[in-house]
A and B are shown apart, each in its own frame.
Chain A
Amino acid sequence: GEKVEQHQSTLSVREGDSAVINCTYTDTASSYFPWYKQEAGKSLHFVIDIRSNVDRKQSQRLTVLLDKKAKRFSLHITATQPEDSAIYFCAAITNAYKVIFGKGTHLHVLP
């Protein structure tokens, strides 16, 4: 079946540095790629998304890149801050609003 692979289970960066989280997907019909953030002990909330008709989207310090040929997408966080520490989930949607999530990357922003 469809899969979304999230390649780093943990990522540590120094405060102020950039962080990059990578994901791949298997279903070429995937058309929408959201990212969600889960802070410790809390629920998930949406942070940014990208649709398959573009290859880049930026929102403040967050940028999502999409490479459809490689079936790969990534979340870039610049100038990381302590409050960026969380688990980040990538996901893909193909049809019928069925969302496939990656396993999550735990981002640690170190002082």
Chain B
Amino acid sequence: EAAVTQSPRSKVAVTGGKVTLSCHQTNNHDYMYWYRQDTGHGLRLIHYSYVADSTEKGDIPDGYKASRPSQENFSLILELASLSQTAVYFCASNLGGSSYEQYFGPGTRLTVL
């Protein structure tokens, strides 16, 4: 079965600090995504990637960077964490081609104080 893992599962960060969220998939999927979930906003796309060493901006990229060093790994980086970035972050992958079904990781709960 498709597997997407995220680390850490929970993190408390200080305002202005650097935060890195990691995602690893063993699906051999080409596409990977980072979303944030906030109450009342559903899921919003931050960054995505369809090939290693390349990332694309989603709908809310400001304040976030992404890195895709290999097909399996996709990181989300908050260089200067802010209170407004407190949220649950989900990573997802999908195969590409004619397959659009996304497989989600368990999520990372980030609290910025």
Q: A: which residues have CB within 8 A of B?
A: 1, 6, 9, 32, 34, 36, 42-46, 49, 89, 93, 96-104
Q: Please, which residues of chain B bring their CB within 8 A of the CB of A6? A: 42
Chain B nearest CB, measured from A62 CB (Å):
15
B48 and A98 contacting across the interface, CB-CB below 8 Å: yes
Task: Identify which of B41, B45, B103 contacts A98 (C-beta below 8 A).
Answer: B45
In the assembly, what is the distance between CA of A43 and CA of B59, in Å? 21
CB pair A49 B101 closer than 8 Å: yes
Given A43-B107, A100-B45, 8 other A-B residues pairs in contact with their CB atoms under 8 A: A34-B101, A42-B106, A44-B104, A46-B101, A96-B50, A97-B94, A102-B42, A103-B40
* B40 and A99 form a contact (CB under 8 A): no
Which B residues contact A (CB, under 8 angstroms)?
31, 33, 35, 40-45, 48, 50, 56, 58-59, 90, 92, 94, 96, 100-107
Contact status B31-A97, CB under 8 Å: yes
Contact at B42–A89, with CB atoms within 8 Å?
A: yes
A93–B58 touching, CB < 8 Å = no
B27 to chain A, nearest CB (A): 13
What's the Cα separation between A1 and B59 when bound, in Å?
A: 9
State the Cβ distance, B90 to closest chain A Cβ, in Å. Answer: 7
Chain B residue nearest to A97 in the complex (CB): B31
Residues in chain A near residue B92, CB distance under 8 A: 44
A100 / chain B contacts, CB cutoff of 8 Å: 45, 59
Report which of B31, B42, B96, B103 forms a contact with A101, defined as CB distance below 8 A. B42
Residues of A near B105 (CB, < 8 A) are: 43
10 contacts between A and B (CB under 8 A): A34-B102, A36-B104, A42-B106, A43-B104, A43-B106, A44-B90, A44-B104, A46-B103, A97-B50, A101-B42
Contact residues in A for B101 (Cβ distance below 8 Å): 34, 46, 49
Task: Report the bound CA distance from A43 to B41 in whole Å.
Answer: 16
Contacts of A1 in B (CB 8 A): 59
